[in-house]
A and B are shown apart, each in its own frame.
Chain A
Amino acid sequence: MKKVFLFLTMVISLAANAQDKYLTRNAKVHFDATTSTSLEKMEGVNNQVISIFNTQTGQYEFSMQMQSFEFEKALMKDHFNENYVETTKFPKAVFKGAIQDVAKVNFAKDGKYAVVVKGTMDMHGVKKEISANGTLTISGGKVIASSTFKLLLSDFNVEVPKLVSDKIAKEATITVDAAYNKM
């Protein structure tokens, strides 16, 4: 009886741990910095973003390799890595923050919630506090997160030369789509 009880205790406590966290290794982050005057779409997409969050604390983190961004034209990728985000110097972008009102989300039941995520974006050697509105959709044990927000390139020391300022906007629209599984 004693041993069974102890065993049960441990199993339950371990299970409680695992259920706290949701993970994906192929979240999609898309950015668009096209100006209205540009003939070319200045957009890139990264389908290999790692993201993890904790349902108990609301802790929410992203990590992406800058060189995994794909572009319509090979030259855009070269320029993105070499001239704009300087991938060899700053290979990764990391976001660490929290879902502000995680308590209102019931992860056990299907539903849709509007949430606010706040935290620190660390990109191109600059750390900056950002905030984004998004939705969490709970469906059959999976959590789907989506969000759209804007980042000023100058906030992250990404310079746009005058010569291409009619093509590349000062502000990029970031779209995040992530489908998480229980860890």
Chain B
Amino acid sequence: MNRYKLNKYLLLFVLLVLSSSSAFAQDDLLGSLGEEKAPREYTRNAFKSTRVITAQSMEQLSKGVLDFRILHRFGRVNSGAYEAYGFDQAVMRMALDYGITDRLTLGIGRSSNKKEIDGFIKYRPIWQSNDGWPLSVVITSGFVKDGMKWADPSRENYYSSRFSFFHQVLIGRKFSDAFSLQLMPTLVHRNLVLTEEDKNDIISIGVGTRLKLTNRLAITAEYFRHITDLPTGYYDPLSIGFDIETGGHVFQLHFTNSLGMNERSYLVGTEGQWSKGDIHFGFNISRVFTISKPKEFRKKKE
């Protein structure tokens, strides 16, 4: 190898080294890593609260969150000035819901109406996400126990007669940040009914929706249509309301023809008719407490 050739290779060497480092100098560094895949994001906040108004929403409590709920329904607004348009009477339900996991919630409640105690379990097998299912499916089942004294103590009364059960499937989708919609096929079974004509099983289908006006204010509505006949004198529940969110509280204000705040009482026990003005004003207050913190925040920082 002569001297000229060696020089040529040296030159090539120097050029390659220089070009290789300078070629990268102007590069888009992050771009060189390739397209970054967005992590899976489960849809949250389809509804501000775990209830649309009275009915369960497709929303669940996060793991370790306790929700203390205070619900009021006042008397009928058409009851006149003497009753302060319903404000003199109120029924209430107090409840505690707890998020076991992000997909599983348990809850108990006590209603002053018929002294009912209710409990439910709510599980989300399918969860809407950015790269998975386009909708969520939530299943909820529960019981309602009537606490009133027996209407007729002289006859043989069974403890089981106090119970009603409900099973509900919520199929919902958060279409956009502002708009969510869910369907709610529901079965309510009452162990004891008033007359022979009344059915023990009542099937109905409901629809619930949320439309956000601002980040902290939303309009909500829910309606159930019976499929099997309701007992005489009872009607389908329709509610329209507002959700107002401030920090850890959600205030739900609404108008409804239903006095009931558990599944038995609003689905099978709604006595009011919108067309007659039998409308109740009501509110739900939800206050959440974080009982169990995510692991990153469990230890106090030094």
Bound pair (A, B):
yes
Listed in ascending order, the chain A residues whose CB lies under 8 Å from chain B are 1-2, 5-6, 9-10, 12-14, 16-17, 20-21, 23, 45, 47-48, 50, 52-54, 56-57, 59, 61, 63, 65, 67-68, 70-75, 78, 81-83, 87-88, 91, 94, 96, 161, 163-164, 167
Residues A74 and B290 in contact, CB atoms below 8 Å apart? yes
C-alpha gap A9/B17 in the complex (Å): 8
B contact residues vs A (CB 8 Å cutoff): 1, 9, 12-13, 16-17, 19-21, 23-25, 27, 29-30, 32-33, 36, 38-39, 41, 44-45, 61-65, 177, 215-216, 246-248, 288, 290, 293-294, 296-297
How far is it, in angstroms, between the C-alpha of A21 and the C-alpha of B187 when the chains are bound? 62
In addition to A2-B9, A20-B21, 10 A-B residue pairs with Cβ atoms within 8 Å of each other are: A12-B17, A13-B16, A16-B17, A17-B24, A50-B36, A56-B25, A61-B29, A70-B297, A78-B44, A78-B45
Q: How far is the CA of A21 from the CA of B24 in the complex (A)?
A: 9
Picked from B17, B38, B246, B294, the residue with its CB within 8 Å of the CB of A13 is: B17
**Contact present for B215 and A83 (CB under 8 Å):** yes
Taking the closest CB of chain B, its distance from the CB of A6, in whole angstroms, is 7
- Min Cβ gap A48→B in Å is 8
Decide: A5 near B216, CB < 8 A? Known: A63-B30, A72-B294: no
| B43 nearest in chain A by CB position | A88
Name, among A1, A13, A88, the residue most crowded by chain B CB atoms within 10 Å (CB to CB). A13
Interface residues of A, dominant DSSP: mixed
Q: Which residues of B contact A88 (CB under 8 A)?
A: 177
Q: Enumerate 22 A-B pairs (CB-CB under 8 Å) in ascending A order.
A: A9-B13, A9-B17, A12-B17, A13-B20, A16-B17, A16-B21, A52-B32, A52-B33, A53-B29, A56-B25, A59-B29, A63-B36, A68-B39, A73-B290, A75-B288, A81-B44, A82-B45, A82-B177, A91-B38, A94-B30, A96-B30, A163-B247
In whole Å, how far is B247's beta carbon from the nearest beta carbon of chain A? 6
Assembly CA distance A50 to B29 (angstroms): 11
Chain A residue nearest to B19 in the complex (CB) = A13
CB distance from B53 to the nearest CB of A (A): 20
Assembled-state Cα–Cα distance A47/B30 (Å): 18
| A73 with B39: CB separation less than 8 A | no
Q: Which residues of B contact A13 (CB under 8 A)?
A: 13, 16-17, 19-20
Which residues of the other chain, A, contact B293 by a CB distance below 8 angstroms?
A: 72-73
Q: Is A52 a contact partner of B29 (Cβ separation < 8 A)? A: yes
Question: B38, A54: Cβ atoms under 8 Å?
Answer: no
Q: Are A1 and B1 in contact (CB under 8 A)?
A: yes
Shortest beta-carbon distance from A166 to chain B in Å? 11
Q: Are B29 and A21 in contact (CB under 8 A)?
A: yes
Q: How far is the CB of B289 from chain A (nearest CB, A)?
A: 9
Closest to B22 in A: A56
Q: Are B25 and A54 in contact (CB under 8 A)?
A: yes
Question: In the docked arrangement, what's the CA distance between A88 and B175, Å?
Answer: 12
Question: Closest B-chain residue to A76, C-beta based?
Answer: B290
Measured CA separation A21–B215 after assembly (Å): 42
Min CB distance, A118 to chain B, in Å? 16
Cβ-closest chain A residue relative to B9: A5
